[in-house]
């Protein structure tokens, strides 16, 4: 069942610069990488990846607009509407795999780190513009023996992009697969690095969504509905998408360049 349900917020955590996690109880099975359509009463409904998928679910929100700002201002006891989960989740890779998260995309890949049955089979690479924007580092270290951090300004960990760091990691260790979520520009260059090293990947794509269930077509990329056919796609599928890394549609359906 994935119909709308009103839930009460049980925990609010300020994760970092402009980023807030909201926790709530919801008796539904959620696979890593799936998302909810979250309704803020009196404001709007927006898609949000599940950052926690256990008994107590969670979403992690960056304040970038009216709806996300309203979510970030909520407190324990406040109510939100939740539809879902929707979309395809990350498949469990065989063997040792690497999870890559950029910016708030880190939240979407956290459950993919925690699905590893052994902490030695999952490595982690997180990146952001500065150390203040890195989230869930300690949480990741509880599930992985090897967590690498990069920042564009060098304030924490590797000085450079997460893609450059991953390029170096792939030269030192073999992985069966890479799981990733982050800004599309990051994913575009990460895909090139995966191709360079001959590693398959699963990536979570983001497009403007209205319905979340594949009916409205607002999230289509090269004929594929991100909400229903994705948001997780294999690297070889993404490599065939002409729009990936180049353009997307806004809320009116108008094509804009990335």
CATH number at residue 165: 3.40.50.80
43 domain-assigned: yes
Res 253: pLDDT: 67
> What Cα–Cα distance (Å) separates residue 5 from each residue in 22, 102, 113?
16, 30, 28
Mean pLDDT of 120-129: 97
Rounded distance between C-alpha atoms, residue 248 and residue 258, angstroms: 7
pTM over 0.95: no
For residue 116, the enclosing domain spans 97-257
69 domain-assigned: yes
Let me know whether 167 and 78 are in one domain.
no
Mean pLDDT of 31-44: 94
Res 258: pLDDT: 74
Residue 46 clears pLDDT 90, i.e. is over it: yes
Let me know whether 101 and 82 are in one domain.
no
- pLDDT above 90 as % of the chain: 80
Let me know whether 131 and 58 are in one domain.
no
Residue 108 clears pLDDT 70, i.e. is over it: yes
- Tell me which of 12-26, 40-54, 97-111, 204-218 is least confident: 204-218
Rounded distance between C-alpha atoms, residue 82 and residue 60, angstroms: 14
Provide the number of structural domains found in the chain.
2
Residues linked to residue 38 through DSSP beta bridges, in sequence order: 46, 82
Residue 126 clears pLDDT 70, i.e. is over it: yes
Rounded distance between C-alpha atoms, residue 2 and residue 222, angstroms: 27
Work out whether strand 56-62 and strand 79-86 pair parallel, antiparallel, or are unpaired.
unpaired
Q: 201 near 177, Cβ under 8 Å?
A: yes
**Residue appearing with tokens 């807030």:** 20
pLDDT digits over 183-200, tens only? 999 999 999 999 999 999
Q: Which residue has the higher pLDDT, 217 or 78?
A: 78
92 domain-assigned: no
Residues linked to residue 128 through DSSP beta bridges, in sequence order: 151
Mean pLDDT of 129-156: 97
* Boundary residue ending a domain (86, 121, 142): 86
- Tell me which of 84-93, 151-160, 208-217 is least confident: 208-217
91 domain-assigned: no
Residue 45 clears pLDDT 90, i.e. is over it: yes
Mean pLDDT of 202-229: 83
Let me know whether 119 and 219 are in one domain.
yes
Residue 65's closest CA among 48, 50, 49? 48
């Amino acid at each position: 069942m994935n119909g709308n349900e009103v839930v009460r917020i049980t925990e609010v955590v300020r994760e970092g610069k402009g980023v807030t996690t909201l926790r709530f109880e919801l008796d539904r099975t959620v696979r890593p990488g799936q998302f909810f359509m979250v309704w803020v009463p009196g404001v709007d409904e927006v898609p949000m990846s599940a950052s926690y998928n256990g008994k107590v679910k969670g979403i992690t929100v960056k304040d970038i607009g009216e709806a996300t700002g309203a979510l970030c201002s909520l407190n324990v006891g406040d109510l939100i509407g939740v539809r879902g989960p929707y979309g395809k989740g990350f498949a469990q890779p065989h063997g040792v795999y690497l999870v890559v998260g950029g910016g708030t995309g880190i939240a979407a890949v956290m459950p993919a780190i925690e699905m590893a049955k052994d902490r030695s089979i999952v490595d982690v690479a997180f990146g952001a513009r500065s150390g203040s924007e890195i989230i869930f580092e300690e949480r990741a270290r509880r599930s992985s023996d090897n967590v690498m951090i990069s920042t564009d300004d060098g304030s924490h960990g590797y000085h450079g992009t997460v893609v450059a760091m991953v390029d170096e990691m792939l030269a030192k260790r073999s992985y069966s697969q890479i799981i990733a979520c982050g800004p599309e520009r990051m994913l575009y260059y990460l895909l090139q690095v995966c191709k360079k090293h001959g590693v398959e990947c699963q990536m979570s794509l983001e497009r403007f969504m209205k319905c979340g269930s594949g009916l409205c077509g607002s999230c289509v990329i090269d004929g594929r509905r991100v909400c229903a056919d994705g948001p997780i796609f294999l690297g070889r599928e993404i490599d065939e998408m002409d729009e990936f890394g180049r353009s997307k549609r806004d809320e009116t359906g108008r094509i804009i360049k990335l």
